[in-house]
Amino acid sequence: PDFEIIAIVGHDDPGTELVVRQAAARHPDLIKVVVDDSVPKNKPKALNRALQIATGDIVGVFDAEDEVHPGLLTVVDSKFQETGADVVQGGVQLMNFETSWWSLRNVLEYYFWFRSRLHFHARSKFIPLGGNTVFVTRDRLAWSKGWDDQCLAEDCELGVRLSSDGAKVVVAYNPEYVTREETPPTLTSLYKQRTRWNQGFLQVLGKGEWKALPTLRQRMYARYLLNMPFLQAATGLLIPISLLFILLVKVPTPVALLTFLPLVPTIITLVAEAAGLTEFGRVYGKKVRVRDYVRLVLGLVPYQVFLAAAAVRSVVRQVRGDGSWEKTEHTGAHRDAATAPSSTAPDLVGAGSEVTR
């Protein structure tokens, strides 16, 4: 029951500020409003501004568009008390898989990441934290001096530094309590988002904090994950070369047969994704149709090409020294009758926010 909400809004966003002020007027003892007048703007700058007035022992972060389960804070509080954690990472799930062919794949990425892979990273004691529904003790945030406002993946950067210092990170994942979000509404928006994430990973790689991880296995995990933009970019550059070989180069039959070997992991991947899509529909009460499975299969190669293109752009931006923050637009596509918030939930989604206990 003991928590405060700090809503952060940019000084150049009067529409959102109006919503936030109205919410604060309804709950003056609960909601504080912080206006971020920094230029240029980015999320870590806004978080650091709000952190200065936060009074709680634990600080949690949500994004403006989030639909937050009303019982989430109780679950997180229990995790802290039961485990003595420094950080509790909650689950986040994109919901609007029906919107477009790429939203289907974007939704599955989140499902597999929070449902499975994040637990692996927590057990490995190397975890790139998510950007929201993450809760950190005030002591650890004081140690880290908040978030790195020069990094485009401030969440990953904080997770790497905390992991390198031996912080205890616990994952609190339960489908019922996940924070619900939407996929970017356009390919352009998704392209910019993935560019920013990839470039942020490259920035974290360059800082080298991961080299302080205590074990070789952890350092190898970190090196692999943070180098992923380079790997995806290389894949993107190889795609046109592969197409040229297919069309123009004649090879012996045995060599041609060997080129089909990559089909095996590809088919295995599609089977796993189809199973994941079925489970996602069952868990969240979403009706998965035959056409969704068809889109899943047909979208595999185009989506990988798309990710590779975003990775190439991130490398180019990093080489050029362009660290500008490209925001992700939102339309509320994850909100429907089944997931509509309670009457008090809008107070949590008017702007970027911290919740402190």
pTM of whole model > 0.85? Answer: yes
Backbone Cα Rg of the chain? 21
Q: Which is it for strands 31-36 and 87-90: parallel, antiparallel or unpaired? A: unpaired
Kindly give the confidence (pLDDT) of every residue in the chain, 357 residues in length, as a single tens digit, with 9 standing for 90 and above: 789 999 999 999 999 999 999 999 999 999 999 999 988 889 999 999 999 999 999 999 999 889 999 999 999 999 999 999 999 999 999 999 999 999 999 999 999 999 999 999 999 999 999 989 999 999 999 999 999 999 999 999 999 999 999 999 999 999 999 999 999 999 999 999 999 999 999 999 999 999 999 999 999 999 999 999 998 888 777 777 777 777 777 778 777 766 666 778 889 999 999 999 999 999 999 999 999 999 999 999 899 889 999 999 999 999 999 999 888 887 787 876 444 444 333 333 334 666 665
* 8 Å CB contact between 178 and 134: no
Task: Name 136's bridge partners.
Answer: 59, 87
In DSSP terms, which residues pair with 180 in a beta bridge?
Answer: 67, 93
Angle at 324 between CA 8 and CA 201, to 5 degrees: 90
To 10 degrees, the CA torsion angle through 181, 187, 192, 195?
100
In three-state secondary structure terms, 165 is: coil
Signed CA dihedral, 127, 133, 138, 144: sign only: positive
State how far the Cα of 84 lies from the Cα of 257, in Å rounded to an integer.
55
Instruction: Name the helix (H) or strand (E) containing 137.
Output: strand 134-137
Question: How far apart, in Å, do the first and last CA atoms of the chain sit?
Answer: 9
